[in-house]
Structure 1
Amino acid sequence: MNVRKRAGVVAATTMRDRLAAWRELLDLCRRKATRKRVHALRVITLRLQAELDRDLNDLPRASHQAQAILRFSKQAETLRRALGPVREFDVWIGKLRGLRISLSETTDYVPHSTHDCISGIDRLENRLTRKRRTAEKKLVTQIEKSGRHLVKAGEHVERELSDFVLGEEAGIAEELARRFLAIQAEFSTFDETNLHEFRKRIKSVRYLAEIHAGTDRACAQIASQVKKVQSAIGEWHDWQELGREAHHGNHAKTKPLAELLDTVSAESFETALSRVQSVSTYLQERIQKSEDLQVENRKIPARGELSPLADSNKKLA
């Protein structure tokens, strides 16, 4: 990104507002790490990291701005590692509850195998709830331990970048589309060992597109498409991890549930692969249209320029 000087009050408050919201959520999670607070803090931390990492590419590493970003990123990464497990348990517990409702509402007659699955859900949910409480305690401890350093790092970034804003950038949509495809090209093929890694790698593409979405319609469309990919892959990964949890200990009472989760995981894996391909095709076509338009624009004479035929007609007149 070409970081540029402040263009106005509205633009200048963008980063400041995000950092203020981040600090507020940090304090709220320290008091009580609810599902909504944890999710909101994790998302805004990821967005700030994506935005600042892109700024970093255009700054000398020895500059005060770059050092402020590096310091913040280090603190933010520690926070993310503490937030991750809590967020995962929240998602998994929510999925189990949804699956229980789905199984309970199938028909008036509930087969024995369904009863076994529901029983397995109850056992697994209880186990995950206990793990979630432990992860929440670790998160709160981490925030209390590092909270002062986190806040100072955020204030340092805000102070050093106060004269710089993320403005409209020509070609940002195409840049993000190319970045998505470049990341995809690094994976010769997708399987269960690398699809989740791909999902993590494209997060920055989505968050940067969302940051620009308010001023760039193309970025809003790209953000929407990349979110679809992330959601599909995330859906598969959550079912896969739940299946592993159900298989843990090879408990007979959770075996029917584990088998069901394996089936759901396999189906969602195919859905995720299909989504990756469809969005990849969409982005390739978008880039091609943009390139074709640029070629057409170069062929059109600039205003005031006349073609030889037009010039001769003017002389005849």
Structure 2
Amino acid sequence: MALNLDRIQKSLRKVKKFVKKAPSQPTPEQVHDLRTNTRKLESALHALALDSSSDERRLLKSVKRIRKRAGNIRDMDVLTADVCSVKVSGEEDCEVQLLEHLGVQRHKYAKKLRSTVLKESAVLKKTLRREAAGLGVLMQDGKSYQAAAEAGAHALDLASQLPYPPRLNRNNLHPYRLKVKELRYVLQIAENNGKADFVKHLGEVKDAIGEWHDWEELVSIANDVLDHGSGCRLQQELKRISESKYEHALALATKLRKTYLKTSARKDSRSDTSPQFRLPVLLATAALTSGTQKRAA
């Protein structure tokens, strides 16, 4: 079986479990799991073309709302940990002020998440149950090959977007991360694809860009919240770290494209030539469909 449906079922179960509990102040681990599994679920349903019926569209809309709410809390958790990792002598008051602000924001976002979960609870429980049953039927009557073919085509389409934009910078690096993350989640639907070098490198790029963006957000919040002025050494240190994270993320993203994509040196538009993939990319996408055709026959 090329498709790892257990992985998708696991995401369904975890989202359903959180919706059932609806904690008022979820732990950082609960928030991280919720955000990750909602994103994986969205990616899988789109990749397998399980997003066309009214129930599926309703499910995706509800899941997206919850993911965004969870993302706001997750940001506060990560930024809090980042602040705690920076120690600048003489700037303890600024650090406390920043931590207090992040704590207040987290509490507010947690209330909004719970309100959204409770509002969407009835619809989510029904649609998640139906989707779980639908995935069980997916591997019957030759449908597995059709689903795998949909996922493979979707993965190739996502991979074809990796060369763009031609030049990565501060303005487009974080949006570029969304392409990388989406492709990685789709490729991970295939059994054992998590061990593929290409998939691992997608994860490294995703994490590096995300880490830079977190520090960039922290710099912005510190500028708004702290009243210490331009001489604040804590703010100076945050900016220094953010710059270092940016350079690292940009280097990894550039290396990813050079390693796995063969594109022409000059390219003015997407219509000029289609990007050519190196073997690891083709193997990773092929893993989605390998073994299903024989079973479907």
Same fold (TM over 0.5): yes
User: Which stretch shows the higher mean deviation, 20-29 or 260-269?
Assistant: 20-29
Query: 1:292: how far off?
Result: 11
Q: Residues 250 and 37 of structure 1: is their aligned pair in 2 closer, same or farther, counting only changes over 3 Å?
A: closer
For residues 286-297 of structure 1, the aligned pairs below 5 Å read 287-289=277-279
Name 2:36's counterpart in structure 1. Answer: 43
Separation in structure 1 between the aligned mates of residue 13 and residue 136 of structure 2, nearest angstrom:
13
Separation in structure 1 between the aligned mates of residue 81 and residue 226 of structure 2, nearest angstrom:
23
| Aligned match for 1:122, one of 93, 96, 111 | 96
| Aligned match for 1:55, one of 39, 48, 67 | 48
| Aligned match for 1:68, one of 55, 62, 65 | 55
| Aligned match for 1:21, one of 5, 14, 18 | 14
SS of match in other structure, 2:96: helix
Deviation per residue, 1:60-86 (Å, 9 max, x gap):
x4xxxx333222111111111211110
Q: In structure 2, give the amino acid aligned to 1:77.
A: K
What are structure 2's unaligned runs of at least 5 residues?
263-275, 284-297
Larger radius of gyration: 1
Deviation per residue, 1:101-160 (Å, 9 max, x gap):
xx3xxxxxxxxxx32334322210111011111111111111112111121221232234
- Are 1:226 and 2:222 counterparts? no
SS of match in other structure, 2:37: helix
- Asked if the contact 1:12/1:163 (under 8 Å) is kept, the reply is no
| Aligned match for 1:83, one of 70, 78, 84 | 70
- Asked if the contact 2:59/2:127 (under 8 Å) is kept, the reply is yes
Higher relative contact order (CA 8 A, sep 6+): 2
Separation in structure 2 between the aligned mates of residue 230 and residue 153 of structure 1, nearest angstrom:
30
Q: Residues 259 and 15 of structure 1: is their aligned pair in 2 closer, same or farther, counting only changes over 3 Å?
A: closer
Separation in structure 2 between the aligned mates of residue 13 and residue 211 of structure 1, nearest angstrom:
9
Separation in structure 2 between the aligned mates of residue 192 and residue 276 of structure 1, nearest angstrom:
12
Separation in structure 2 between the aligned mates of residue 150 and residue 292 of structure 1, nearest angstrom:
36
TM-score (norm 1): 0.72
Query: 1:291: how far off?
Result: 10
Q: Residues 153 and 292 of structure 1: is their aligned pair in 2 closer, same or farther, counting only changes over 3 Å?
A: closer
- Asked if the contact 2:211/2:245 (under 8 Å) is kept, the reply is yes
Q: In structure 1, give the amino acid aligned to 2:32.
A: H
Q: In structure 1, give the amino acid aligned to 2:167.
A: T
Query: 1:19: how far off?
Result: 1.6
Q: In structure 2, give the amino acid aligned to 1:81.
A: K
Q: Residues 20 and 288 of structure 1: is their aligned pair in 2 closer, same or farther, counting only changes over 3 Å?
A: closer
Name 2:260's counterpart in structure 1. Answer: 283
- Asked if the contact 1:236/1:268 (under 8 Å) is kept, the reply is yes
CA RMSD of aligned residues (A): 3.2
Query: 1:185: how far off?
Result: 2.8
TM-score (norm 2): 0.77
- Asked if the contact 2:15/2:37 (under 8 Å) is kept, the reply is yes
Separation in structure 1 between the aligned mates of residue 171 and residue 200 of structure 2, nearest angstrom:
25
Name 1:184's counterpart in structure 2. Answer: 162
Deviation per residue, 1:200-243 (Å, 9 max, x gap):
2322111122232x3346x6333211110011101110111100
Percent sequence identity over matched residues? 21
- Asked if the contact 1:29/1:37 (under 8 Å) is kept, the reply is no
How many residues are aligned here? 263
What are structure 1's unaligned runs of at least 5 residues?
1-6, 104-113, 294-317
